Amino acid sequence: MKKEDIVEQLATGQMSRRKFNQSLMALGATMVMMPVGSRSAFAASDDHPTVFTWEGWDVPELHQSYLAKHGESPNMAIFGDEEEAFAKMRAGFKVDLTQPCTYKVPIWKDAGILEPIDTSRLSNWGDLIPSLKTIPGTFEGDKQYFIPTDWGLTSVLYRADLAPEYVGNESWGMLWDPKYKGRLSMADSLIDGVMVAAIYIGAKDPFNMTDEEMAKTRAALKEQLPLMRYYWSSPADIEQALASGELVATSAWNSSYAALKKEGFDVRYSSPKEGAMTWVCGFCLMSDHDPAKLDRIYDYLDAYASVESGVFALTEYGYGHGNLKAFAKVEQDQPGLLKELGYSVNVNETLDAGIFQAPMGNEPALQAMFEEVKAGM
Amino acid sequence: MPGEASSPGIMLLAYHLPNRLLGLSKQNLSLMSRTAMSLQSFGSTIRRRFLESEALRGFGLLSPTLLAMVFGLAMPLLILFTLSFWLQDYVDFIKTFSWKNYSDFFAKPIYGMILIKSIKISGVVTLATVLLAYPMAYFIAFRVQKNKLVWLILITVPFWTSYLLRVFAWKVMLGYNGVVNSGLKSIGLISEPLEFLLYNPFAVTITLAHAWAAFAILPIYVSLEKIDRSLLEAARDLGENAFMSFVRVTLPLSMPGVIAASLLVFIPTVGDYVTPSLVGGPSGIMIGNIIQSMFGKAFNWPLGAAISVMSMLTVTAMICLFLWGTHRFRRKIA
C-alpha cells in the first residue's frame, strides 16, 4: 500500500478497522526493531548505576570494559560545575557516583553525602599515581573517599601568532596586559579564576589568604575587569573566540589546547613563571547509592581507571589520567606526544611543578568579593 | 526540608476544610461509616449538597486550577519566603527566624545597585519593545484587510524556535566575526571589528527587546482591533486632524493593550538570567544572575531567597507606580 493511499483512505473513511490495525502493528514492529544503538541513547536500563559527571567524561571510550561486560553504558547525568551538581543533589537528585575535583571533596564529605570506597575491589588501584591518593581532605585514616582518575592543568592559553612577545616569557601577567584590552578572558570561577589572581599577586598560600592578600587580590581583579572580554564558563566559548582572534589569551584547561592544536592554530599552552595550577578530579561514591548496583559501580570505577581510558583521555583530550601506566603506553606508541601536550615523560615532575588546587578557605567571602568585582565595585 | 514549616498548617486545613464545606461534623462521619446503609446515604448527601451549593460547585470546577495554583505557585512562594528568614551555615540551614539576610541586602550596596540596573535595563527594553510593537500592531489592526491571521502567525514565526536559540542568534549577529561586524567590514566602514556590540548591557537590551516582541504585539493588536471605527470617523468629522485623533481617541482606547504589553515584558525581563549570562559579559549582569549564583556557586540559599523576595517587592512597587502613572495619563488626555 502506497503512502498516499493510506492518507486518502484515512481521510475518506474507506480504510477498514482491520487494515488500520495492521498498519499500526507494522509501525509498532518497526519501532521495536529499530537499531539498538539509537535506543540505548534514551536510557540505560534500571539495573545500571547513575553517574553524575562533566561533559566529555561521559563517553563510552572511558569505560570500555564496563561496556564489554554489561553491554550498555550506565545512566549519565551531566553537570556544568560541582556547585551546580551539589545544589541538584541537595534538591533530591539521586545518583550513585559523582566525579568532582579534590577541592570539593571535603565539603561534600562534611555534608554527609559521601561514603568510603573499598579500593581492594579495584584491580587498577595499584596503578594509580601514589601522590594523587593522598591529597589532603580526600581520605580519612584508611578510608578512601576519592578515586583520583583525572588531572590536568589550569594555565594561560594564548595565540602565539597574535602575541609573539610572550613565547619564552610566559606568566599569569599575560591576563593583565593592557595591550590586549578587551581580548583577554578568565574562568568565571573561584578556583580557576580568583585563585589565578591570588597566584598573580604572589599570595603565599593562595587557597588560604590573609586579609591583606585578599585586598590585593581584589585590587588585581578590579584592575583586570576592564581588560576582560568576558569571564568564560564553557571551554567551547574560549575555543571559538581564540580561533577567531576575538581572544588573544585566556586561562584554560588542557583540552582547549589539544582541540585548537588539532585544528592547526598557532596556540601555546604556557608554563607561567609563577607556576600553573594542577587540578585532580575523580570519583566519589554517594552515601545514598543503590546497594544492589554496587558490583556495577565498582566495575565502572575499574573501567574508568584502566590504561585504555587513560590513553584515550591523554590522546583525545590532552588531560592527564590517574593511571601511571597510561603515560608509559602513550610515550611508547606515540613518542613525543606527551611533551607536546605539556607533560614530562616522568609524570611526577609535571605534578611537582604545578600548584595543587586545594579547598579554599572562606569560600563565601571569596565568592561575595568576586561578585562585587564583576559588578564593577 | 524547606517545606516542613508550612506542612502542619496545610494538614490541618486539609482535614477541616472538606468537613466545613460539607457541613458535616465528626460524629456524623463516624456514625455513617458504621453501616453500609449510612454509607449510601452519605453518598447521596454529598450529591445533594453538591448540587444545592453553588459555591461548592464553583470550587469543584475550579479545583484543578486551584490545586495547580496552590502547589505550583503559592507553596513555592511560601517556601521561598520562609527560606529567606533562615541562615546558611556551611552546608546546613539555621532554621531560626532572622532578619540578617534582609539587613545584608541593604548593608551591601551590590544587591541594590544590580537590582536598580536590572530595572533600568528592563525599563529600556519595555519602552523599546512597546514602541516598536505598536506600529506593527497598528498596521495589522488598521491597514491589513485580508488574511489578518496569516499576518499574526507570521509575527509569531520567530518565536517557534527556542528562546536559547534566539539569544544565540544575537550572539552570531553581534559577535566579533558576526553578521554586523563582517558586514560593516566588507563595505569598508570599519577596519577592526567593533567590540562594543557584544558582552555589555547594550547587547542584553537588544536581545531581550527582540525576544519579547511577540508578547507586546499581540495584546496591543487585540486592544486596537476592538476600537470602534466609527469613533475615529466621528473625531475626524468633528475637525480633529489625523494625528490628534490618534492621540485623543486611538491611543487612550488602546492603553489597556499597552499596559498589558508593558507588564508582560517588564516583569519577566527583570529576573531574566539566561540572556545576561550569554550576551551580558561582566558589565551586563542582572539580579537574576546574582540570585542564580546564590543558589549555585555561592551556596547561600537563604540570602538568594531574600534577594528574590526583595526583587519581587521592588517589581511590584514599580508596577503599582506604573499603573498609577498610566491611570493619570489616561485621565489627562481623555
pLDDT, tens digit (0-9, with 9 covering 90-100), for B124-153? 999 999 999 999 999 999 999 888 899 988
d(CA A40, CA B265): 42
- Listing DSSP states for A97-143 in one string gives EE--BGGGHHHHHHTT-EE-B-GGG-TTGGGB-HHHHT-TTSEETTE
Preferred mutation among B92, B273, B297, B299 to probe A, highest tally of A CBs within 10 A: B297
The helix-helix angle for B109-138 and B213-225 (nearest 10°) equals 50
Pairing state of beta strands A320-321 and A97-98? unpaired
Pairing state of beta strands A355-356 and A277-286? parallel
- 578590579: which residue's cell? A222
Q: Does the pLDDT at position A40 exceed 70? A: no
Other Cβ atoms less than 10 A from the Cβ of A166: the count is 20
Task: Give all domains of chain A, ordered by start, each with its CATH number.
Answer: 50-151+279-349 (3.40.190.10), 154-277+358-374 (3.40.190.10)
**A148 φ, ψ (degrees, to nearest 5):** -75, 105
d(CA B83, CA B98): 10
d(CA A317, CA A310): 10
Say if the Cβ atoms of A246 and B297 lie within 8 Å. Answer: no
Pairing state of beta strands A267-269 and A147-159? antiparallel
What local confidence, expressed as pLDDT, does residue A289 receive? 93
- In chain B, CATH 1.10.3720.10 sits at 104-333
Region A13-26: mean pLDDT is 64
Spatial CB neighbours of A240, under 8 Å, sequence gap ≥ 6: A246
Give me Rg for the CA atoms of chain B. 27
**A171 φ, ψ (degrees, to nearest 5):** -155, 165
**DSSP secondary structure letter of residue A72:** S
Q: Does the pLDDT at position B307 exceed 80? A: yes
The chain A residues in contact with chain B (CB within 8 A) are 81, 83-84, 86-87, 107, 110-111, 182, 189-190, 225, 228-231, 233, 241, 244-246, 364, 367-368, 371-372, 374-377
Spatial CB neighbours of A300, under 8 Å, sequence gap ≥ 6: A49, A51, A63, A66, A74, A97
The answer to whether residue B305 neighbours chain A at the CB level (below 8 Å) is no
- Listing DSSP states for B244-275 in one string gives HHIIIIIHHHHHHHHHHHHHHHHHHHHT--HH
How is chain B split among helix, strand and coil, in percent rounded to 5?
Answer: 80, 0, 20
The span from the first CA to the last CA of chain B, in angstroms, equals: 54
User: Which range has the top average pLDDT, A21-25, A188-192, A297-301?
Assistant: A297-301
The 10s digit of each residue's pLDDT in B22-67 is 444 444 445 445 555 566 777 788 778 777 788 888 888 888 888 9
**Of A8-17, A218-227, A330-339, B8-17, where does mean pLDDT reach its minimum?**
B8-17
Region A89-109: mean pLDDT is 92
Interface of B with A in 160-199 (CB under 8 A): 175-177, 193, 195, 199
Q: Which superfamily does B104-333 belong to? A: MetI-like (1.10.3720.10)
Q: Does the pLDDT at position B8 exceed 70? A: no
Alpha-carbon gap: A292 to the closest alpha carbon of chain B (Å): 27
Q: Which of A225, A364, A375 is nearest residue B300 as measured by Cβ atoms? A: A364
The 10s digit of each residue's pLDDT in A316-326 is 999 999 999 99
Q: Does the pLDDT at position A11 exceed 90? A: no
**Average pLDDT of the residues of chain A:** 88
CA–CA–CA angle A49, A52, A56 (5° rounding): 115
d(CA A344, CA A275): 15
Q: Which three cell numbers stand for residue A88?
A: 541538584
| Chain A residues close to B192, C-beta within 8 Å | none
Region B268-293: mean pLDDT is 91
**Of A187-201, B36-50, B117-131, B190-204, where does mean pLDDT reach its minimum?**
B36-50
Spatial CB neighbours of B49, under 8 Å, sequence gap ≥ 6: B22, B23, B56
What local confidence, expressed as pLDDT, does residue B293 receive? 87
Pairing state of beta strands A147-159 and A75-79? unpaired
- This model of the complex carries an ipTM of 0.74
Q: CB-hemisphere CA count at 13 Å for B156?
A: 10
**A362 φ, ψ (degrees, to nearest 5):** 55, 50
Alpha-carbon gap: B225 to the closest alpha carbon of chain A (Å): 37
Say if the Cβ atoms of A364 and B110 lie within 8 Å. Answer: no
d(CA A230, CA B279): 9
Spatial CB neighbours of A252, under 8 Å, sequence gap ≥ 6: A154, A155, A156, A157, A235, A238, A269
Nearest residue to A65 via CA among A235, A342, A306, A293: A306
What local confidence, expressed as pLDDT, does residue B194 receive? 85
d(CA A257, CA A254): 5
Give me Rg for the CA atoms of chain A. 25
Q: Does the pLDDT at position A158 exceed 90? A: yes
Q: Which three cell numbers stand for residue B261?
A: 504589553
Buried b or exposed e, range A58-76, using 16+ CB within 10 angstroms: beeebbebbbeebeebbbb
Q: Which three cell numbers stand for residue B134?
A: 505598536
The answer to whether residue B90 neighbours chain A at the CB level (below 8 Å) is yes
Q: Which of A111, A182, A371 is nearest residue B293 as measured by Cβ atoms? A: A371
| Chain B residues close to A190, C-beta within 8 Å | 297
